[in-house]
Structures are given as C-alpha cells and as structure tokens.
Structure 1
Amino acid sequence: MSVTDEQIQALAATAKPYSIAILHWGPRRTVDGADAVELEHQRRMVALRADGVIAVLCPVVSDTVAGVAIMTVPAEEAAEIMAGDPCVQAEMMRCEVHPCHGFPGDALPG
C-alpha cells in the first residue's frame, strides 16, 4: 500500500500525548514471597487499566522485559504511579517511563 504525504500529515494531526512504561525484571525477581508481590502488581496494573490510566497493557514473555503499558497520563505522573508499584518497590522490577504520542482509536486486533 502506498501512503501519501497528505495521509501522513492527516494522521500526525490526530496524535495525542501518552506515556510508555517499560518494566524490566530487576535483581530481586525471585526473592522469597515474589509470587504474592507479583500478584499485587498484577492486581494494581489491571485496576489502573480499568480506571483508564493504562490504555494498553502488554505483559511480556522475556527474561529481561516484564511488560509494557501505554498510559494516558503525562510521563512525570506515570513515573510516580509506577514508583508505587509493589514489584518496583521490592526491586523485582525496574521501570522506565518515556513520553510518547499515539493515535486515539488505535487498538490491538481482536
């Protein structure tokens, strides 16, 4: 499919600011009690998704990356939210947050 400059410009005009949170496995991933802490992390992430703070939630199957979340709040707020994550606080995960842009209405295929 050929995309025109006009199509690119039209799409770019619809871009909105978001934040992307990338969770990496940390040095204490396998500490005693890790399963319970990870369950609380999962509960919190699903609640943030239900509240609309997380627009897209993607757990990652990897030995290095734990997950990715596209968040609807500014990067500074997203970083504060993720700093309160049980796995981040337990050093089971570390999180990096970056501002990004996305296109409202984009979705994962069903």
Structure 2
Amino acid sequence: MSKSVTDEQIQALAATAQPYSLALLQWGPERAREGADTIELEHQRRMVSLRAEGVIAILCPVTSDTVAGAAIMTVPAKEAMEIMAEDPCVQAGMMHCEVYPCHGFPGDALPA
C-alpha cells in the first residue's frame, strides 16, 4: 500500500455503499452421493442462470475440499436464503448455504 487514503475518501466511498447478500456454499456430507455429477451440473446451470438474470452479481466457484463457492447476490438476505434453499445441491445435501447481509460499492468488478 503506497497510496495514502484520507478520511474524506473513506467517507465518500462509504456513502455509496449499497446492500447485497453474500451466499457462502460449503460442501455437505452427501457430496459424493450417487448421481452427484448430474445434480452438480443442474446446480451450475441454475447459478449461471441467476447470474444472467442479475440475481447474482458476482459468482465465485471455489477449489476446496470444504468451500464450494461464494456469490454476491443483489437481493435481500432473506430472499437469497429462500433462493439458495431451492438449489439442487443444497436440496440433495451435497452443499449447505449460509447467507449474510453485506454492503458493496456499485461499479466494483473483478479485473478482466
């Protein structure tokens, strides 16, 4: 960190914060169940569809034995939890999901 950030810059950025939800998916006990590949493909199709619809702003699959992925969602936490409860992998016990209300800054993006 070579650039000094002023209190005013922090306050100006904080004033632009908007509510989002962070969905954190972790692998569950049924990860390797029979038919897991087919169920996971439907999970992936659903997550990409939610991204295309704008319900998921940022989608981050994770390469881990414990964490399956994270998504920044544009809906309130209660609605995000309801959406994720319908996920094929969650319903099959392959994943479980925790949703946290959070704030983000409109226009933030992953670098290309």
TM-score, scaled to structure 1: 1.00
Question: Size of the alignment, in residue pairs?
Answer: 110
Structure 2: which 5+ residue stretches go unaligned?
Answer: none
Q: Does 1:45 align with 2:29?
A: no
Whole-angstrom distance in 2 between the partners of 1:108 and 1:10: 21
Percent of matched pairs sharing the same residue:
79
Q: Does 1:72 align with 2:74?
A: yes
Which residues of 2 match residues 73-92 of structure 1 at below 5 A?
Answer: 73-92=75-94
Q: What are the superposed Cα offsets for residues 76-95 of structure 1, whole Å, 9 maximum, x if unpaired?
A: 00000000000000000000
Structure 1: which 5+ residue stretches go unaligned?
Answer: none
> Which residue does the alignment assign to 1:17?
19
> Which residue does the alignment assign to 2:59?
57
Whole-angstrom distance in 1 between the partners of 2:61 and 2:28: 15
> Residue type of the partner of 1:107?
A
TM-score, scaled to structure 2: 0.98
Pairwise CA RMSD: 0.2
Which residues of 2 match residues 26-37 of structure 1 at below 5 A?
Answer: 26-37=28-39
Whole-angstrom distance in 1 between the partners of 2:93 and 2:80: 18
Whole-angstrom distance in 1 between the partners of 2:30 and 2:61: 18
Whole-angstrom distance in 1 between the partners of 2:54 and 2:111: 19
Whole-angstrom distance in 2 between the partners of 1:21 and 1:72: 11
Give the C-alpha shift of residue 104 in structure 1. Answer: 0.2
